[in-house]
Amino acid sequence: MATFKRDGLEFTVRDEGPTDGDPVLLLHGFPQDSTAWDAIVPRLHEAGYRTLAPDQRGYSIGAMPQGRQAYRMAELVADCVGLLDAFDIEKAHIVGHDWGGSVAWSMASLAEDRCQDVAVLSTPHPGAFVAVALKSTQLLKSWYMAMFQVPKVSEALLRPGGPGWKKIMQGLPPHQAQHYTQRMSRPGALTAALSWYRALALDMVGKGPGVKRTRIPALYLWGENDPALGRAAAEATADYVTGDYTFHIMSGVGHWVPETAPDVVATELLEFWSSH
């Protein structure tokens, strides 16, 4: 496991595949980690790509700062840029799922010069999410985000292994659910992961950078059975991408796209990268 440091924090990174291959930055979501991509990366390596999958801020043991200020989107994007700098990579293909998808969209806006292109699983463009939140069922689907804002209460309701936690884990392969449960059972791990949600309010009230329309080539994969991220925002994402754009609805797929549809994801990524 490789590491890199930024701003006094140490991040763990899975740097795998041919060292001279085109680099791919893989960004996991909540409450996952770099292992979310385990079933996908072998296909990418076979095709000649190098993958870098970090355990992001709040998930790396050496990068769990306290307080929601430390988890603003600008910091999360800066972590990704810091990774590319540390590994001497000028540009990479950016891939993200769930919260990692939000970081990927934001990186395409705030650090466009470091992105070859962007591919996002599940998560709509932030602009699309906000635009449809009050006009569709998305606000109801996102009720949990409000609950996550309340310290201690949300930690109690989401106690790893408890009823609330088991509901979140539904749909994951058992071995992966067990791994995430064990990881989030470490002292401070759940609070650090929830800090991503708690920092969201800071960006939404104007204290963080806005995410502009995406100008680089973009691929968006959305599972039609996703209980958290609905169709309206997924379809509206097209309005927030001005570059070449591919949108694919995955039939029969829910929220845990990397773990449950790895072959589809790998195929879509390889076709996307070879198309431009």
Q: What is the pLDDT along the chain (276 residues), one digit of tens a residue?
A: 999 999 999 999 999 999 999 999 999 999 999 999 999 999 999 999 999 999 999 999 999 999 999 999 999 999 999 999 999 999 999 999 999 999 999 999 999 999 999 999 999 999 998 888 766 455 444 545 666 776 788 898 899 999 999 999 999 999 999 999 999 999 999 999 999 999 987 776 444 446 789 999 999 999 999 998 889 999 999 999 999 999 999 999 999 999 999 999 999 999 999 998
pTM here is 0.94
Output the pLDDT for position 207.
40
What is the token pair recorded at 195?
């800090």
DSSP string, 192-232: HHHHHHHHHHHIIIIIS-----B-S-EEEEEETT-SSS-HH
Q: Is the CB of residue 23 less than 8 Å from the CB of residue 50?
A: yes
- pLDDT for 215 equals 97
The predicted pLDDT at position 201 comes to: 77
Write b or e for each residue in 156-165: b if 16 or more Cβ atoms lie within 10 A of its Cβ, otherwise e.
ebbebeeebb
Per-residue confidence (pLDDT) for residue 146, from 0 to 100: 63
Q: What is d(CA 44, CA 194) in angstroms, rounded to the nearest whole number?
A: 31
Residue 12 carries which side chain, given as an amino acid letter?
A: T
Give the largest CA-CA distance in the chain.
47
What are the catalytic residues? 98, 197, 255
Task: Supply the pLDDT for residue 135.
Answer: 63
DSSP percent split of the chain into helix, strand, coil, nearest 5: 45, 20, 35
Cα gap 131→142, rounded to integer Å: 14
Among the four given CATH numbers 2.60.120.430, 3.40.718.10, 1.10.150.390, 3.40.50.1820, the one describing domain 2-274: 3.40.50.1820
pLDDT of residue 111: 97
**Domain spans of the chain, in order of start:** 2-274
The pLDDT of residue 137 = 57
The rounded distance, in Å, linking the Cα atoms of 17 and 194 is 31
